[in-house]
Amino acid sequence: MGTPKKKKKSQTLESQFHFDLNLCSKNKDLLGAISLFESAISNGTRLNHHHFNALLYLCSNSVSDHSLKDSALDNGFRIFDRMLSAGISPNEASITAVARLAAAKSDGDHAFELVRTMGKHNAVPRLRTYDPALFCFVEKSEAEKAYEVEEHMGMAGVSLEEAEIAALLRVSSETGKGEKVYEYLHKLRCSVRCASESTAKIIEDWFCGKKACEVGEVGWEVGKVREAVFRNGGGWHGRGWIGKGEWIVRRTSVDWSGQCCCCGDKLFCVDIDDEETEKLAQSVASLAMEREVKSNFSKFQDWLDKNADYEAIVDGANVGLYQQNFADGGFSVSQLDSVVKELYNKSGNKWPLVVLHNKRYRALLENPSNRKLVDEWMDKGILYTTPTGSNDDWYWLYTTVKLRCLLVTNDEMRDHIFELLGSSFFLKWKERHQVRYTFVKGNLKLQMPPLYSSVIQESEKGAWHVPIAGDSGEESERTWLCITRPSVYKVLDEVFPIEDSSPIGGCLQLQQCTSNNIANRNDIRGNLDSSDTSNDKPTVVTGKRKERCFSTS
Ligand SMILES: [Zn+2]
């Protein structure tokens, strides 16, 4: 029965404990905190959620200190048990701390069990909650268990980052699981632009290892692989290891045009894949439909279906109003004209499409000196005017996505409307399709998309190029891993003599890359060989040692 006096005394004890524990946390004083915990237990001080978490955190943080490890482990688990028996639900931070303790004991199973059962405390795991179990399994080369952790992360909606993917790659490599290595290389490609030095080392170790020589198929359909590269937006095919035999791993650089200085392969400016493009076009269209007068936008879509032959779209207002914030500044038709002409010249005489709001178009017509030019644009199908009340952003964005072409605008597309798209691939799309521009003393300069992307790339010859993260901001100074399989090059050289350098075999459904689509073909920069091919039959490279041939059956 608490008399007022007793209550007051316990309050004093609690606040004193609280104060002292905070001090220990601040000073990372594990032993001090443990003795506070002991006396709190013996004098019946009530510990709350914060106190338990502070104690657990101190323990988990002390395991790396050799002299404290044993004490941290013994007391950490005891504190956690006490927390549970006191009826205080652990949260994510508590579980993470205890999972770290379990991992410090090399008990990955326990660490994983803690994550698996945290739902009963209504706690939601984060990436860091999984790390102790995952890294523990990797250290012990328990690949299957590591994969289980990854699977659980997927179910919990937790995404892996470079450290986790690299760890899974490592355990797969060390246990000789070639298919898994392939899978994780692709996961790495998807989520990391440049690999860290430690990840690069793991990749090198795999390719220099014995097992890597054994993986792969000797018969592969060259055309199918190439088709997959294009369908994926360039930079990867995902069809598995190609060829057999040893790999050559070298550190090299890539020249300004994206050519590997080691093997001579040309790297891609990687685009989003077909599925992502379709998804992006659909989400732009459905957002536009919500916000625009529906019939206007669908009328435009119909128009676009019939007039799909553009290689570049111009955000007319953005170009016309560029640097016009001076007295007498208005809409510069001459700037727009320069952009139109430059695109026409660069693309081998194809007119771009300028998207312009109706009200601006009418204002331009009011000025007799513009009229002739604007009429000419109309006649040549260069101009599309968006209806009154519309937001022309939807129109140029939709067109560019749909036609997979280039977009001339300095708009960074960070407005709310682009945020609505919210897709992870929008940035990647922008990198590949946006052309920025400047006018220096009236002279136009177009800044084309980069010639290649500094991302992990898999070539149609099964080679890998891995950019390594560095301190230098200069792309030209970046170190790359160039990983090739000489036997594959040899086979391809024999099958396709050197003079035939363009298409390697059957290129099915390559309308997108064989049409005059500059965004895909880089024609406007003239840096992509013609992918046209008349051979629509699959080309199979066989691995027969004596008579390497390809069947067209
Ligand atoms: Zn190379």
Element (H, E) at 249: strand 248-252
How far does the centroid of ligand 1 lie from the alpha carbon of residue 292, in Å? 48
For residues 552 and 65, the model is more confident at 65
Dihedral (CA of 519, 525, 528, 529) sign = positive
DSSP state of 514: H
Report, as an integer, the average pLDDT of 137-152. 98
pLDDT per position as a tens digit, 422-467: 666 788 899 899 999 999 988 999 999 999 999 999 999 999 999 9
Distance CA 263, CA 180 (A): 26
For residues 527 and 349, the model is more confident at 349
Residues 420, 544 within the same domain: no
Residue 41 lies in a domain: yes
Tell me the pLDDT band of 542, cut-offs 50, 70 and 90.
Answer: very low
How far does the centroid of ligand 1 lie from the alpha carbon of residue 445, in Å? 31
Distance CA 155, CA 170 (A): 23
pLDDT at 2 over 60: no
How far does the centroid of ligand 1 lie from the alpha carbon of residue 484, in Å? 7
How far does the centroid of ligand 1 lie from the alpha carbon of residue 363, in Å? 54
* 309: helix, strand or coil: coil
How far does the centroid of ligand 1 lie from the alpha carbon of residue 38, in Å? 62
Q: For tokens 């390697």, what's the residue?
A: 504
The CB density around residue 511, as the number of other CB atoms within 10 Å, is: 9
How far does the centroid of ligand 1 lie from the alpha carbon of residue 267, in Å? 9
- Residues contacting 288, CB < 8 A, separation 6+: 297, 394, 395, 398
How far does the centroid of ligand 1 lie from the alpha carbon of residue 480, in Å? 8
Distances (CA, A) of 416 to 15, 301, 420: 48, 23, 6
Angle (deg, nearest 10), helices 274-291 and 425-433? 100
For residues 291 and 130, the model is more confident at 130
Distance CA 80, CA 96 (A): 12
Residue 101 lies in a domain: yes
Report, as an integer, the average pLDDT of 147-175. 97
Report, as an integer, the average pLDDT of 371-386. 93
Distances (CA, A) of 463 to 202, 222, 266: 17, 14, 11
Report the amino acid identity of residue 8.
K
How far does the centroid of ligand 1 lie from the alpha carbon of residue 227, in Å? 21
Report, as an integer, the average pLDDT of 253-262. 94
How far does the centroid of ligand 1 lie from the alpha carbon of residue 452, in Å? 13
How far does the centroid of ligand 1 lie from the alpha carbon of residue 248, in Å? 10
Report, as an integer, the average pLDDT of 118-139. 97
How far does the centroid of ligand 1 lie from the alpha carbon of residue 211, in Å? 21
* 466: helix, strand or coil: strand
pLDDT at 501 over 80: no
Report whether 383 contacts 307 (CB < 8 A): no
Last residue of a domain, one of 426, 447, 468: 447
DSSP state of 256: T
Alpha helix (H) residue ranges in 192-332: 197-208, 210-214, 222-231, 274-291, 294-306, 316-320
Question: What is the reported pLDDT for 527?
Answer: 31
Last residue of a domain, one of 447, 481, 516: 447
Distance CA 509, CA 214 (A): 32
pLDDT at 263 over 90: yes
How far does the centroid of ligand 1 lie from the alpha carbon of residue 296, in Å? 49
pLDDT per position as a tens digit, 175-217: 999 999 999 999 999 989 899 999 999 999 999 999 999 999 8
Tell me the pLDDT band of 489, cut-offs 50, 70 and 90.
Answer: confident
Mean of the per-residue pLDDT values of the chain: 86
How far does the centroid of ligand 1 lie from the alpha carbon of residue 465, in Å? 6
Question: What is the reported pLDDT for 494?
Answer: 76
Residue 131 lies in a domain: yes
* 248: helix, strand or coil: strand
Distance CA 333, CA 321 (A): 9
Question: What is the reported pLDDT for 521?
Answer: 36
Residues 244, 339 within the same domain: no
Q: For tokens 């690949």, what's the residue?
A: 143
Last residue of a domain, one of 420, 447, 474: 447
In terms of Cα–Cα distance, which of 464, 433, 482, 430 is closest to 189?
A: 464
Residue 517 lies in a domain: yes
How far does the centroid of ligand 1 lie from the alpha carbon of residue 255, in Å? 11
Residue 87 lies in a domain: yes
Residue 42 lies in a domain: yes
Residue 197 lies in a domain: no
How far does the centroid of ligand 1 lie from the alpha carbon of residue 457, in Å? 10
- Residues contacting 497, CB < 8 A, separation 6+: none
How far does the centroid of ligand 1 lie from the alpha carbon of residue 464, in Å? 7
Distance CA 89, CA 122 (A): 8
Residues 355, 484 within the same domain: no
How far does the centroid of ligand 1 lie from the alpha carbon of residue 454, in Å? 13
Residue 104 lies in a domain: yes
Residues 242, 342 within the same domain: no
Buried/exposed code over 268-288 (b: 16+ C-beta within 10 A; e: otherwise): bbbbbbeebbebbbebbbebb
How far does the centroid of ligand 1 lie from the alpha carbon of residue 261, in Å? 7
Distance CA 320, CA 341 (A): 14
Q: Which of 15-19, 316-320, 323-327 has the lowest mean pLDDT?
A: 323-327
Residues 375, 231 within the same domain: no
Report, as an integer, the average pLDDT of 333-360. 94
Question: What is the reported pLDDT for 293?
Answer: 83
How far does the centroid of ligand 1 lie from the alpha carbon of residue 203, in Å? 15
How far does the centroid of ligand 1 lie from the alpha carbon of residue 507, in Å? 23
Question: What is the reported pLDDT for 423?
Answer: 62
How far does the centroid of ligand 1 lie from the alpha carbon of residue 405, in Å? 28
Dihedral (CA of 226, 231, 234, 238) sign = negative
Distance CA 364, CA 333 (A): 8
How far does the centroid of ligand 1 lie from the alpha carbon of residue 160, in Å? 28
How far does the centroid of ligand 1 lie from the alpha carbon of residue 1, in Å? 80
Residues 297, 437 within the same domain: yes
CATH number at residue 157: 1.25.40.10
Question: What is the reported pLDDT for 382?
Answer: 95
Question: What is the reported pLDDT for 219?
Answer: 83
How far does the centroid of ligand 1 lie from the alpha carbon of residue 473, in Å? 21
Question: What is the reported pLDDT for 471?
Answer: 81
* 435: helix, strand or coil: strand
Residues 324, 424 within the same domain: yes
pLDDT at 524 over 90: no
Residues 427, 473 within the same domain: no
Tell me the pLDDT band of 416, cut-offs 50, 70 and 90.
Answer: low
Its domain, for residue 49, covers 4-164
How far does the centroid of ligand 1 lie from the alpha carbon of residue 513, in Å? 23
Residues 406, 490 within the same domain: no
Phi/psi at 399 (5° precision): -60, -45
Q: Which of 134-138, 155-159, 289-293, 429-433 has the lowest mean pLDDT?
A: 289-293
How far does the centroid of ligand 1 lie from the alpha carbon of residue 395, in Å? 40
CA 284 to chain CA mean position, Å: 20
For residue 346 the two structure tokens come to 């660069």
How far does the centroid of ligand 1 lie from the alpha carbon of residue 429, in Å? 25
Residues 26, 143 within the same domain: yes
Distance CA 279, CA 270 (A): 17
Residues 374, 227 within the same domain: no
* SS3 letters across 389-419: CCCHHHHHHHHHHHHCCEEECCCCCCCHHHH
Question: What is the reported pLDDT for 422?
Answer: 63
Report, as an integer, the average pLDDT of 88-112. 97
Question: What is the reported pLDDT for 508?
Answer: 22
How far does the centroid of ligand 1 lie from the alpha carbon of residue 44, in Å? 68
How far does the centroid of ligand 1 lie from the alpha carbon of residue 346, in Å? 29
Tell me the pLDDT band of 518, cut-offs 50, 70 and 90.
Answer: very low
pLDDT at 492 over 90: no
CATH number at residue 298: 3.40.50.11980
Question: What is the reported pLDDT for 490?
Answer: 83
How far does the centroid of ligand 1 lie from the alpha carbon of residue 430, in Å? 26
pLDDT at 526 over 70: no
Alpha helix (H) residue ranges in 312-468: 316-320, 333-346, 358-366, 368-379, 392-403, 416-421, 425-433
How far does the centroid of ligand 1 lie from the alpha carbon of residue 349, in Å? 34
For residues 163 and 536, the model is more confident at 163
Residues 239, 303 within the same domain: no
For residues 511 and 90, the model is more confident at 90
pLDDT at 504 over 90: no
Instruction: Give the count of domains, the chain.
Output: 3
How far does the centroid of ligand 1 lie from the alpha carbon of residue 483, in Å? 6
